[in-house]
Amino acid sequence: MSNELIFGFHSIEAILNNAPERFLEIYALKGREDQRLNQVVNDARKFGISVQFMQRKALDNKANGEQHQGIIANVKAARPYNEKDLDDIIQRETTPFFLVLDGVTDPHNLGACLRSADAAGVHGVIVPKDKSAKLNGTARKVACGAAETVPLIQVTNLARTLRDIKEAGVWVVGTAGETDTVVFDANLTGPMAIVMGAEGDGMRRLTREHCDELVKIPMVGSVSSLNVSVATGVCLFEVLRQRSAL
């Protein structure tokens, strides 16, 4: 299993809280004295994690252009989630709730979607192994810790996975601008998978064909679409709103 660099307080704190054994070393900005950095350093040392203090230029070079907030960590890559983990969630949860990302290739969007998924109570985010953003340091930083709490489930064949979860009783709702059904009018209270397509292209044909229902977000302004992470937040929180009303 390979190693990876992660950046920023939220992602590092999340791994410290959930899987401290993954840390190999932490690199912190030399001369920075504030409570948050000191807390992370102290917590890391309690687990026996090495902390190396570096000048800003050296830290910037190690981050390779990423916004690191004065702290970087070298960690063991997390175990990837797969179809078996998806089956386990469906068996375990009474009303499973999934987010499916079809062709989202920007790690910033992936991280933002993970953050919204965590906040809305999603049990897992499903992505195809190919043509999908990787859970790298950028995605983890944008996710603000959600990458450590929401399983990112990579599947070999997304269309087949949608068929399988439908057979398990999960209602698959895709998002498409050309449908007449507004997301706020759909019944989203049961076992649910919300499918978001790539910006511009939307869902692929096979993905669309495996949806039980298509919904859209109403647009009343001059723009014709939303960023995929923003649209994801709207749809996920409508599911949460409807479930909370029960």
Q: Is 224 helix (H, G, I), strand (E, B) or coil?
A: coil
Tokens of 180: 């007449």
Query: Does 226 belong to an annotated binding site?
Result: yes
Q: Are 120 and 93 in contact (CB under 8 A)?
A: no
CA dist 92 and 88 (Å) reads 6
Phi, psi angle pair for 22, to nearest 5°: -80, -20
CA distance 194 to 233: 11
- Residue 84 burial (CB count, 10 A): 8
DSSP string, 40-89: HHHHHHHTT-EEEEE-HHHHHHHHTT---TTEEEEEEPPPPB-HHHHHHH
Identity of the residue numbered 9: F
197 is in an annotated binding site: yes
For residue 131 the two structure tokens come to 């043509």
121 is in an annotated binding site: no
Tally the C-alpha atoms within 13 A of residue 18's C-alpha that lie toward its C-beta.
15
Residue ranges of the binding site for S-adenosyl-L-methionine: 197, 217, 226
Residue ranges of the binding site: 197, 217, 226
